[in-house]
Amino acid sequence: MSETIQGIEELNLTRKDFVPGNEVRWCPGCGDYSVLANMQKTLPVMGVKKENYAFISGIGCSSRFPYYMDTYGFHSIHGRAPAIASGVKLANPDLAVWVITGDGDGFSIGGNHMIHVLRRNIDLNIMLFNNRIYGLTKGQYSPTSQLGMKTKSSPYGSIDRPFNPSAIALGANATFISRALDVDAKGLQESIKRAQRHKGAAFIEVYQNCIIFNDGEFADGESKATRPDNALFVTHGEPMIFGKEHDKGIIMKDHHPKVVTLGGDWSEKDLLVHDETNSIITNLLLEMTFDPLNPTPFGILRAIEAPTYDEMLTAQIEDVIEAKGEGTLESLFYSGDVWEVK
């Protein structure tokens, strides 16, 4: 896609404009670095003025992100970033608001805010750093940690059944859902761009490696050698093909997605075609996430248009003003039965 959105040239922003002077303090090798770099690389070409970006985060390793962006930033309290960001956007709809959160921040303590911000479709972007662990508090299992996982708070293995954040986003009626790998610059940039352009709440789930407390969690996808056979990158309108040799595809069999090898019995036209506007396809992709027989899907899983809360609020205010006239303190104060003492 060409990046000549109107105004980009005049803005003349570069990656450097988004890098503040302070030191980044994540562990060496943490997946967060790559996400930060790709954010800093992508924002300059979005046609948004630098001062109009606001990054709002909760608490966690990932939530330190705003300190490393030379934009307006608010590092808030655990789990509440979606609610704070909602207020920011409603107060000033001109801002490009980003929420940065973790699997604990966004889906444990802040789960309630997350589903509601997605449901309301407030025009902001949410980036979830899913490392399937509580990083900042030094390694307890999270609501996305796999069963049996041994952590500081589950020395005998976790008995806490995980859920799939992107599936929750779909359940919450999100209008945009994408998934990317921390090491995949192209996929990350694509997600960031599409999210920033999306009108409404855009949800990006990043699979992020925590090298200290959950190293290798996404190894199948992270390693260049195994990725092609384990990850399915979907594109709207394209058949679902993956594999080192581009020789595998997904068909629908008995209402379930199934991997087939192209060539022999199967050709491209038998394959499922991705449709980011069709929630049945999105759901099917999300069902594949934990299925050992299927690859893990990445890319823009869902993108539909729907009215945004902020837009509707502004419109309602305009409509009521038009119908009733702009309210003055006089008209307000005298709106009841008034009597005079002379």
Partner 1 sequence: MTKKVIRINEATIRFAGDSGDGMQLTGTRFTEATAIVGNDLKTIPNYPSEIRAPLGTLAGVSAFQLMFGSSRVFTPGDLPDTLVAMNPAALKVHLKDLKKGGTVLANANAFSLKNLKMAGWEGNPLEDGSLEGYTVYSIEMSKLVGKALESSDLTSKGIERTKNMFALGVLFWMYNRPVEPTEAWLRKKFGKNPAIAEANITAMKTGFNYGETTEIFTTSYAVEKADLPKGKYRNITGNVAVAYGLVAAAKKAGKELFLGSYPITPASEILHTLSGLRNHAVKTFQAEDEIAGIASAIGASYAGDLACTTTSGPGMALKTEAIGLAIITELPLVIVNVQRGGPSTGMPTKMEQSDLLQAVHGRNSDAQIPVITAQDPADCFDCAFEAARVALKYMTPVILLTDGYLGQGSGPWLIPDPKSLPEIKVTHPDSSARGENGFMPYSRDENEARPWALPGTPGLEHRIGGLEKENITGMVSQDPENHQLMTDIRARKITRITQEIPPSEIFGKAKGKVLVIGWGSTHGSIHVAVDRVQAEGKSVSQLHLRWVSPFPSDLKEICDNFDEILIPEVNSGQLSLLLKADLVRPIHQLNKVRGEPFRASEIEEKINEILG
Ligand X SMILES: Cc1ncc(C[n+]2csc(CCOP(=O)(O)OP(=O)(O)O)c2C)c(N)n1
The site for ligand X (CB under 6 A) is made up of 59-62, 78, 102-105, 129, 131, 133-137, 142
**Sites for ligand SF4 among residues 120-139 (CB under 6 A):** 131, 135
Using an 8 Å Cβ cutoff, are 104 and 142 in contact?
Answer: yes
- Shortest distance (Å) from residue 133 CB to ligand SF4: 7
The nearer residue to ligand X, 218 or 242, going by C-beta atoms, is: 218
The encoded tokens of residue 202 equal 């855009």
Residue 197 interface partner, choices partner 1, ligand X, Mg ion, none, CB cut-off 5-8 Å depending on type = none
Q: Which stretch binds partner 1 (CB under 8 A): 67-75, 188-196, 206-214, 287-295?
A: 67-75
Sorted by sequence, the CB contacts under 8 Å of residue 294 that are 6+ apart come out as 232, 250, 257, 258, 259, 288
**Sites for Mg ion among residues 114-153 (CB under 5 A):** 131
Handedness of CA 124, 169, 179, 24 (dihedral sign): positive
Cα 118 vs. chain centroid, distance in angstroms?
A: 10
**Sites for partner 1 among residues 110-129 (CB under 8 A):** 112-113, 116
- Shortest distance (Å) from residue 149 CB to Mg ion: 13
Query: According to the binding rule CB under 6 A, does residue 151 interact with ligand SF4?
Result: no
Using an 8 Å Cβ cutoff, are 159 and 147 in contact?
Answer: yes
Residue 105 interface partner, choices partner 1, ligand X, ligand SF4, none, CB cut-off 5-8 Å depending on type = ligand X
**Sites for partner 1 among residues 302-321 (CB under 8 A):** 313, 316-317, 319-321
Q: How far apart are CA 195 and CA 173, in angstroms?
A: 16
Q: How far apart are CA 11 and CA 2, in angstroms?
A: 17
- Shortest distance (Å) from residue 189 CB to ligand SF4: 21
For ligand SF4, which residue of 13, 24, 27, 273 counts as binding (CB under 6 A)?
A: 27
Q: How far apart are CA 305 and CA 292, in angstroms?
A: 32
CA atoms within 13 A on the CB side of 99: 35
Using an 8 Å Cβ cutoff, are 150 and 124 in contact?
Answer: no
For residue 269, what are the CA distances in angstroms to 72, 235, 293? 48, 15, 22
By CB under 8 A, how many residues form the interface with partner 1? 58
**Sites for ligand SF4 among residues 193-232 (CB under 6 A):** 210-213
Torsion angle (degrees, nearest 10) of CA 38, 130, 164, 139: 170
Contact residues toward Mg ion (CB under 5 A) are: 102-103, 131
Contact residues toward partner 1 (CB under 8 A) are: 22, 49-52, 54, 56, 59, 66-67, 70-77, 80, 83-92, 94-95, 112-113, 116, 313, 316-317, 319-321, 323-330, 332-334, 336-342
